[in-house]
Amino acid sequence: MPPRDPRELPFGEQASFRRATAPAALQPTALVRPRTSGAVAPARRGRHGGYEPAHRATPTALQRAVAPLLTTAALVGVGTFALLSGANGGSTDPDAAAQPAPTLTVERVATTDDNGSRSLLRRSPNLAGPAPSRSPSPSASPSPSASPTLSPSPKPKPKPSRSATPKPTAASKPSPKPTPKPKPTKRVVRPVAGLDQLQMDNAAAIVKKAQNMGLPKRAMVIAVATAMQESALYNLASYAVPESLDYPHQGTGADHDSVGLFQQRASGSWGTVQEIMTPSYSAGAFYAVLVTVDGWQNLPLTVAAQSVQISAFPDAYAKHEDNATTVVDALLG
């Protein structure tokens, strides 16, 4: 009858059959023999045939009792290290620290052929905790550093909105714009006393200057009559004074260096050539000397005019008094 295969025996009888059929050299007593230097460790027959080293001998009851404890301690250490080192997802959220630590669950480690481990777990049921709840935890979210960095896409430029123009309310009515003052228009008086428009305009400049200086009508009549005699109420230049030709003029005279409406000498103290060629200025220069004559308002026109002009023909002014009066009345009317 061929030897029986140990694998066909029940599990509890396999070890006894191996010990009974093993050679003397492989008996358990050989496992405790002192090893000499350089000696080869004895071998024993393996579970499924063949030989295996002596250091893989069948574990003792003490070893089988201690092995689950060591495994449990290792699992507890690994779990504690994972909790302390942030192995729960690497979350840096400060709220994660306030979350309660998950209950460490120790899975039952047992093999089908390890009866001692199963009996140990039965005697110590506290080693196996309740099943962990799989509620989502903020710490289980993936680490920001592990996620790929996405470059921000360019934001489209906002289109300008066509906002409706707010209607002005009663409180926000625009103030009325001030009405611009009308520009003063030059009053044109039709010529009288046989004068043309140029002569009448020059007479108007003489009258207006007297008004600005606050002089009475008598001064206006004396001045207009004097201009009628000196220049026929034309603004005259002179070839003897070439500069006078550079300014607006209405003809030329030939009385030495006399220019303007009142034929005032350019070499005298009346003013510059440009000033004398200006009708309003030359009239003002005439009035400035006239008012210095004592009693000029009561003097005959020809005496008052001669006191200013110092003319070679002092009586020539008297003949223009009537026309001068007519022109002044037309301009003042």
Domain ranges of the chain: 59-88+102-128, 197-332
Instruction: Tell me the per-residue pLDDT of 70-112, one tens digit each, with 9 for 90 and over.
Output: 888 888 888 888 888 774 555 545 454 445 544 444 444 344 4
Q: What is the pTM of this model?
A: 0.47
| Helix (H), strand (E) at residue 132 | none
Query: 3-state DSSP call for residue 259?
Result: strand
Question: Looking at residue 139, what is its pLDDT?
Answer: 45
**Counting runs of H as helices and runs of E as strands, what totals does the chain give?**
9, 6
Which residues touch 226 (CB under 8 Å, ≥6 apart)? 262, 286, 305, 308, 309, 317, 320
3-state SS, residue 264: strand
DSSP string, 154-182: PPPPPPPP-PPPPPP-STTPPPPPPPPPP
Residues 100-150 have pLDDT tens digits of 544 444 444 344 445 555 555 555 555 555 554 554 444 444 444 444 455
The secondary structure element, H or E, covering residue 229 is helix 217-231
pLDDT of 176 reads: 72
Give CB contacts under 8 A, 24+ apart, made by 242-248: 243/273, 243/274, 244/273, 244/276, 244/277, 247/273, 247/274, 247/277, 247/278, 248/277
Which tokens sit at 228? Answer: 């009628």
> Strand 237-238 relative to strand 51-53: parallel, antiparallel, unpaired?
unpaired
pLDDT single digits (tens) 28-83: 544 444 554 444 445 555 555 555 555 556 778 888 888 888 888 888 888 888 88
Give the Cα separation of 271 and 287 in Å (integer): 14
Q: CA torsion 42→26→49→109, rounded to 10°?
A: -80
Number of residues that make up the chain? 333
Identify the pLDDT of residue 288.
96
Is the CB of residue 315 less than 8 Å from the CB of residue 301?
no
pLDDT for the residue 110: 40
